[in-house]
């Protein structure tokens, strides 16, 4: 710490991202990235990019990307037999959904209006609260690690929930989210749908009825663009315009030219999106069965990861043993989850190797 650091950050503990080791090559199943490359249309578009254009700023409205997002969500409504609804005024894009979340906390919370989050969830929420001086209300989980909807009753703070939840992969139904939204319309409900494309139902259509709902999405997980840093939010025009104000007060050109192109093509290629997410779902379901066969207890995750634990071996112990063998999974420091490892769903080949290495570890430890 330098002697210049502001006093208000003396006790700040920043988010610790999963390891991105560069020393050797691992089968990397620790940060919920996709094992697949982005849509081939992304590579095509980027290779046609003229690097000379980088002398000019990117489009601060990221219009092309916003239009592709609007089209994707309207297509979804049309497929359900409903009318198109979304316009560009319902969308804000950002440098990863992390940036969008930071804007949300900043715009709608302060020392009088805190944020309520489930006790187990995405690690960035408490950090945004502490860096921005926002009181955090932590709502305990149900016995089986689910988000306790009833636990939010009577809470006056805004609410942020990852759904499916980070760490556990467990999810709330649309009607549960509706309960949170309608119980008190003067609190915002932010639903972080980073993992929704792997089998859960989105609440994006509820934006038509609820002006206290913000849906946050990322292209990092189901669209293979973690390194592109692209996220967005959908909400009423009024909420989006508040968030735009944050963006223009902080970093107007938050998306660079390359990310705008990559994101646009990834949103447009619905066929590739469907095909890759279906494969992840299939491999995930298979992995639940295989690990259960090995005696693991596995959460019924609807995300692109699973949480698994086995009597006789702690999370950290298994994580270290697998790391030694060249497979990286995530050990979670949260006390409630310290028996588990979190395993990102990889390709069939990666998962086969994981099972093999787990069997080796269990054998070595006589389990």
Residues that bind ligand PLP (CB under 6 A): 32, 96-98, 122, 162, 166, 192, 194, 218, 220, 226, 231
Nearer to ligand PLP, 209 or 334 (CB): 334
> Strand 297-298 relative to strand 230-235: parallel, antiparallel, unpaired?
unpaired
Q: 214 or 358: whose CB is closer to ligand PLP?
A: 214
Closest distance to ligand PLP from the beta carbon of 359 (Å): 29
Q: What angle do CA 328, 329, 330 make, to 5 degrees?
A: 130
Query: Which residue's CB comes closest to ligand PLP?
Result: 96
- Edge-to-edge strand order for the sheet containing 158-162? 91-95, 230-235, 213-218, 189-192, 158-162, 115-118, 136-139
Name the residue among 69, 34, 41 with its Cα closest to residue 272.
41
The residue among 98 and 269 lying less far from ligand PLP, judged by its C-beta, is: 98
SS3 158: strand
CB closer to ligand PLP out of 108 and 122: 122
> Which residue's CB is nearer to ligand PLP, number 197 or number 269?
197
Q: What is the Cα–Cα distance from 313 to 45, expressed in whole angstroms?
A: 47
Q: In this complex, which beta carbon is closest to ligand PLP, that of residue 194 or of residue 207?
A: 194
Q: State in angstroms the smallest separation of the CB of 226 from ligand PLP.
A: 6
- Rounded to 5 degrees, φ, ψ at 252 are -60, -35
Residue 251 near residue 95 (C-beta atoms within 8 A): yes
Say which DSSP state 46 is in. Answer: H
Give the shortest CB-188-to-ligand PLP separation in angstroms: 16
Q: Which is nearer to ligand PLP, 97 or 212 (CB)?
A: 97
> What is each CA distance from 52 to 257, 268, 299, in whole angstroms?
11, 25, 49
Of the candidates 193, 349, 197, the one whose C-alpha atom is nearest the C-alpha of residue 273 is 197
Give min distance, CB of 117 to ligand PLP, in A. 11
**Closest separation in Å from C-beta 2 to ligand PLP:** 28
- Taking the complex as a whole, the smallest distance from the CB of residue 250 to ligand PLP amounts, in Å, to 15
Kindly give the interhelix angle for 257-268 and 63-79, rounded to the nearest 10 degrees.
20
Whether the CB-CB separation of 90 and 235 falls below 8 Å is answered with: yes
Taking the complex as a whole, the smallest distance from the CB of residue 51 to ligand PLP amounts, in Å, to 25
């Amino acid at each position: 710490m330098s002697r210049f650091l502001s006093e208000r950050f003396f006790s700040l503990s920043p988010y610790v991202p999963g390891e991105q080791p560069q020393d050797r090559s691992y089968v990397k199943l620790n940060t919920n990235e996709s094992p697949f490359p982005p849509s081939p249309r992304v590579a095509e578009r980027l290779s046609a990019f003229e690097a000379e254009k980088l002398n000019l700023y990117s489009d601060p409205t990221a219009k092309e990307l916003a239009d592709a997002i609007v089209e994707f969500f309207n297509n979804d409504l049309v497929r359900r037999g409903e009318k198109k609804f979304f316009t560009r005024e319902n969308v804000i894009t950002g440098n990863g959904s992390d940036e969008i979340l930071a804007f949300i906390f900043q715009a709608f919370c302060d020392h009088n209006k805190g944020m309520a989050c489930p006790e187990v969830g995405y690690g960035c929420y408490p950090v945004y609260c502490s860096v921005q001086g926002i009181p955090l209300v932590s709502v305990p989980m149900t016995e089986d690690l689910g988000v306790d909807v009833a636990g939010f009753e009577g809470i006056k703070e805004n609410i942020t929930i990852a759904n499916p939840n980070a760490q556990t992969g467990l999810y709330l139904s649309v009607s549960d989210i509706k309960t949170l939204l309608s119980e008190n319309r003067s609190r915002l409900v932010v639903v972080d749908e980073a993992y929704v494309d792997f089998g859960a139902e989105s609440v994006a259509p509820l934006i038509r009825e609820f002006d206290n709902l913000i849906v946050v999405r990322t292209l990092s997980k189901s669209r293979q663009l973690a390194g592109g840093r692209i996220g967005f939010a959908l909400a009423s025009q009024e909420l989006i315009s508040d968030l735009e104000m944050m963006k223009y007060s902080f970093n107007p050109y938050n998306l660079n030219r390359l990310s705008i192109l990559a994101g646009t093509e990834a949103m447009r290629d619905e066929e590739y999106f469907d095909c890759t997410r279906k494969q992840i779902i299939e491999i995930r379901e298979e992995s639940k069965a295989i690990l259960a066969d090995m005696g693991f207890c596995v959460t019924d995750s609807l995300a692109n990861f699973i949480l698994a634990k086995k009597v006789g071996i702690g999370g950290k112990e298994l994580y270290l043993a697998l790391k030694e063998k060249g497979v990286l999974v995530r050990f979670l420091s949260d006390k409630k989850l310290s028996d588990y490892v979190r395993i990102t769903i990889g390709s069939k080949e990666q998962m086969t190797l994981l099972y093999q290495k787990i069997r080796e570890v269990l054998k070595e430890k006589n389990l």
